[in-house]
Amino acid sequence: MAKVKICGLANYNDSLDATNLGADFLGFHFIKESPKKVSEKMVIDIVSKLPPFVIPVGVFADADQKLIEKTIKKCGLKNVQFNGIEAPEFCAAAKAALGVKVFKFFKLENESDAEKLSLYAGNVDYFVLDVSYLDGETVKHNFELAAKAVNLNVPVFVSGRITPEEVKEALEKVAPYGVDADGGIERLPKRKDYDKMNNLIRYAHGLK
Ligand SMILES: O=C(O)c1ccccc1NCC(=O)[C@H](O)[C@H](O)COP(=O)(O)O
Cβ partners under 8 Å of residue 189, min gap 6:
35
Task: Give the nearest ligand 1 atom to 185 CA.
Answer: 23
State how many domains the chain has.
1
190 lines ligand 1 (CB under 6 A): no
Task: Give the nearest ligand 1 atom to 59 CA.
Answer: 13
Residues 13, 42 contacting (CB under 8 angstroms): no
pTM, to two decimals: 0.97
Query: Which structural domain, as residue segments, surrounds residue 24?
Result: 3-204
Cβ partners under 8 Å of residue 58, min gap 6:
28, 30, 43, 68, 71, 72, 75, 77, 79, 80, 81
Tell me, in angstroms, the distance from the centre of ligand 1 to residue 123's CA. Answer: 21
Which tens digits make up the pLDDT trace of 147-203?
999 889 999 999 999 999 999 999 999 999 999 999 999 999 999 999 999 999 999
Burial class (CB in 10 A: 0-12, 13-18, 19+), 178: buried
pLDDT for 151 equals 87
- CA-proximal residue: ligand 1, atom 9 (nearest): 83
Tell me, in angstroms, the distance from the centre of ligand 1 to residue 139's CA. Answer: 14
Identify the CATH number of the domain in which residue 38 sits: 3.20.20.70
pLDDT at 39 over 90: yes
pLDDT at 115 over 90: no
pLDDT for 84 equals 98
Average pLDDT over residues 71-84: 98
Neighbours of 62 (CB within 10 A): 12
Phi/psi at 193 (nearest 5 deg)? -95, 120
Q: Helices (DSSP H) in 50-166: which residue ranges?
A: 65-75, 88-98, 111-115, 143-149
86 lines ligand 1 (CB under 6 A): no
Average pLDDT over residues 6-13: 98
Most ligand 1 atoms within 8 A of CB, residue of 32, 34, 163 to mutate: 34
Coil, strand or helix: which one is 79? strand
pLDDT for 83 equals 98
Residues 26, 54 contacting (CB under 8 angstroms): yes
pLDDT for 75 equals 98
